[in-house]
Structure 1
Amino acid sequence: MSKCLIGLPLGGRFPKDIKDYLEAHKIEVIENPYGRKLSEEELMSLIKDCDATLAAAEPYTKKVLEVAKKLKIIARMGVGYDNVDLKAATERGIYVTWTPIPELAYAMAEHTMALILTFVKRIPYMNQEVRKGIWEPEKWGALIEDLYHLTLGLLGVGRIGGEVAKRAKAFGMSIIYYDIVRRKDLEDSLGIKYVSFNDLLSLSDILSIHTPLTPETKGMINEEAINKMKRNAIIINTARGAIIDEKALAKALMENRIAGACLDVLSEEPPTETHVFYKLGDRLQNLILTPHIGYGQHTGRAMGLTAAEDVVRVLRGERPKYLLNIEVIK
């Protein structure tokens, strides 16, 4: 019987019927016994006899793949794949797939807009004060903003960035973007405007990041970039933490160089005591953090089943539907 490792613990965003689906296709499921992200050593121990894996954020390094002698497919539940050594996988003839399904783009766009609204409307801060018996609407009326007159800048307009643009348009926002690929379709349908990277920084009231993490984008939002932004600007990151130089961002927030930031992703997840945003407590009140959780159970189920379907295809001897490393079949 073939074996498939599931990297994430089941029962949260990834319901247990994903396991049922695999077992119905006579695939033995190896579950993550730790209830958290697997380390490289833990992954090496669990994957060595597996034919497939439903991958989350655990590190599929060359070292891991060298011990996975039977592995045929890494089915990534998500659209980020910076935790997978694509070159090493391709060299070993391992399929790497992803789940670029509409549900994920919808959910991530919703979370992006939620972060924008949460900060712009100062909801967490007003909630804290009202709970303490403080009722000062005039004070907050001078601090909250309205989206319809603000400019949203999108760094990257792929599937998720495009869905964010649609939702921001519904709020009446002006939308500008920078990407290595022009989106003429969205320029025509939504009236979004292509600008240079420097203009994106200087013109955006809200900068929302939707680009993949690559050697070119790592640290792209650094101190130099932040210094080009408006003092009342907000940075939103639901893409990958390492796209931002987090130490530079922390410095800018402490100095009120920009108004604030909302981060769903960090360069180290979960952060440890050496991370600049570890256990902030009451510090940096102009920063909102969420634990890389931009989608809920409905979307998690759709992603998990999509990845599982590709596992079944490959173990049947078929080609997967959502293949990333096309070179593996050449």
Structure 2
Amino acid sequence: MKPKIYITRKLPEQIVNRLRGNYHVTMWEQEDIPVPRDVLEKEIEEIDGLLCLLTEQIDEALIEKAVNLKIIANMAVGYNNIDIHSAIKRGIMVTNTPGVLTETTADLTFGLLLATARRLIEAEDYLKSGQWETWSPMQLTGQDVHGATMGIIGLGRIGEALAKRAKGFDMDLVYFNRSRKYEQEKELGIEYQPLEKLLQVSDFVCVMLPLTPETTYMIGADQLDLMKETAVLINTARGGIVDEKALYQALKNRVIWAAGLDVFEEEPVSLDHPLLTLPNVVTLPHIGSASIATRLKMASLAAQNLMDGLAGDIPRNLVVL
């Protein structure tokens, strides 16, 4: 009997067909609607492998229903949607998809930075709403990016790729990381600073960390108070790293100049969220890795991790605590 696999969202046929030859594949056939919890609870009882997205909370209660489950392949770099400890305790492998989305996410991060600094979305709305009647000296003026100082919190793969893009704009680079990265300091021309100092000197603060208990609300009111009044905060990492209530107050009271957000603590974000009411916030629906090529690579890598695990091999992207 073929091992059973469940895929929690409709994926391109070229990906699914790789699995159908050797496995009995069941898939939630909606592309834009997450699988309901009750459906996932039923499916997980009999499957050997699960290919899931960040939208699924694979918690202890769900894992306890899995009798035969051997591997959870998450189609994402982050895996804060999965109770890793519960999975490992039950001998279930967990994998992710790092590396393939590095450059695409760095592109989006820098694009969001530019859009926020130069008020591009606000300017488009200004034009389309018929407010543009003349040119004036200080109309929709923003912050310069070239020659400014970028502070990167979390110098992982994406952080390094972002730094390379910033060098093209002659930006000065500083970073904070759990551990010093001396080789990258030389290669990228980037300077290590304690978090407090980074926040004080940076014109653009880019959050590039995973969400962990240690990083939850790492950027709160005290940290925002350290930033320049002209500073811009960019978060394309995970919601929950930034305290959204504190950020709202800092933006509303002009403690900092603006923010660009691709992620929120709760996703999809509620349309009545206070941050969405502010003109100095650019918001995106978690599209950091959303290029056609990259999403296909992510799905392919998740499928390969799944196949490796079910074949008894150690997947290349095994999450180890």
TM range (shorter): over 0.9
Q: Give the secondary structure class of the aligned counterpart of 2:50.
A: strand
Q: Give the secondary structure class of the aligned counterpart of 1:67.
A: coil
The letter for the 2-side match of 1:293 is I
Q: Are residue 171 (structure 1) and residue 166 (structure 2) matched?
A: no
1:229 and 1:185 map into 2 onto residues whose CA distance is 28
Q: Which moved further from structure 2: 225-234 or 140-149? A: 140-149
Give the equivalent residue in structure 1 for 2:9. Answer: 8
Measure how far apart 1:262 and its partner are. 0.8
Does the 8 Å contact 2:121/2:282 carry over to 1? Answer: no
Give the equivalent residue in structure 2 for 1:240. Answer: 238
Q: Give the secondary structure class of the aligned counterpart of 2:298.
A: helix
Measure how far apart 1:284 and its partner are. 0.2
Q: 1:288 to 1:151 in 2, by over 3 A?
A: same
2:307 and 2:7 map into 1 onto residues whose CA distance is 14
Give the equivalent residue in structure 2 for 1:250. Answer: 248
2:292 and 2:31 map into 1 onto residues whose CA distance is 20
Measure how far apart 1:248 and its partner are. 0.6
1:66 and 1:72 map into 2 onto residues whose CA distance is 13
Give the equivalent residue in structure 2 for 1:195. Answer: 193
The letter for the 2-side match of 1:6 is I
1:233 and 1:83 map into 2 onto residues whose CA distance is 31
Does the 8 Å contact 2:123/2:140 carry over to 1? Answer: no
- Is the helix fraction higher in 1 or 2? 1
Measure how far apart 1:312 and its partner are. 1.0
2:120 and 2:138 map into 1 onto residues whose CA distance is 10
| Alignment equivalent of 2:213, drawn from 212, 215, 228 | 215
Q: Which moved further from structure 2: 27-36 or 316-325? A: 27-36
Q: Give the secondary structure class of the aligned counterpart of 1:207.
A: strand
RMSD over aligned Cα atoms: 1.9
Measure how far apart 1:31 and its partner are. 2.2
1:140 and 1:306 map into 2 onto residues whose CA distance is 49
Gaps (5+ residues) in structure 2?
none
Q: Give the secondary structure class of the aligned counterpart of 1:201.
A: helix
Give the equivalent residue in structure 2 for 1:113. Answer: 110
Does the 8 Å contact 1:223/1:248 carry over to 2? Answer: yes
Measure how far apart 1:319 and its partner are. 1.8
Give the equivalent residue in structure 2 for 1:294. Answer: 288
Q: Are residue 67 (structure 1) and residue 102 (structure 2) matched?
A: no
Q: Are residue 316 (structure 1) and residue 317 (structure 2) matched?
A: no
Relative to the length of structure 2, the TM-score reads: 0.93
Query: What are the Cα deviations for residues 237-281 of structure 1, in whole angstroms up to 9, with x where unaligned?
Result: 01111001101111111112111111111000112478544xx3x
Q: 1:189 to 1:136 in 2, by over 3 A?
A: farther
Give the equivalent residue in structure 2 for 1:304. Answer: 299
Q: Are residue 46 (structure 1) and residue 43 (structure 2) matched?
A: yes
Measure how far apart 1:325 and its partner are. 2.7
1:285 and 1:9 map into 2 onto residues whose CA distance is 36
Report how many residues are paired. Answer: 317
2:140 and 2:279 map into 1 onto residues whose CA distance is 17
The share of aligned pairs that are identical, in percent, is 36
Give the equivalent residue in structure 2 for 1:284. Answer: 278
Q: 1:135 to 1:125 in 2, by over 3 A?
A: farther
1:292 and 1:46 map into 2 onto residues whose CA distance is 27
The letter for the 1-side match of 2:26 is V
Q: Are residue 156 (structure 1) and residue 157 (structure 2) matched?
A: no
Q: 1:161 to 1:60 in 2, by over 3 A?
A: same
Q: Give the secondary structure class of the aligned counterpart of 1:148.
A: coil
Measure how far apart 1:146 and its partner are. 2.5
The letter for the 1-side match of 2:228 is K
Does the 8 Å contact 1:310/1:322 carry over to 2? Answer: yes
Q: Which moved further from structure 2: 1-10 or 79-88? A: 1-10
Give the equivalent residue in structure 2 for 1:265. Answer: 263
Query: What are the Cα deviations for residues 169-209 of structure 1, in whole angstroms up to 9, with x where unaligned?
Result: 11111110000121212210111000011001111111000
2:131 and 2:60 map into 1 onto residues whose CA distance is 56
The letter for the 1-side match of 2:305 is D
2:234 and 2:82 map into 1 onto residues whose CA distance is 25
The letter for the 2-side match of 1:45 is K
Q: Give the secondary structure class of the aligned counterpart of 1:177.
A: strand
Does the 8 Å contact 1:126/1:140 carry over to 2? Answer: no
The letter for the 2-side match of 1:104 is L
Q: Give the secondary structure class of the aligned counterpart of 2:240.
A: helix
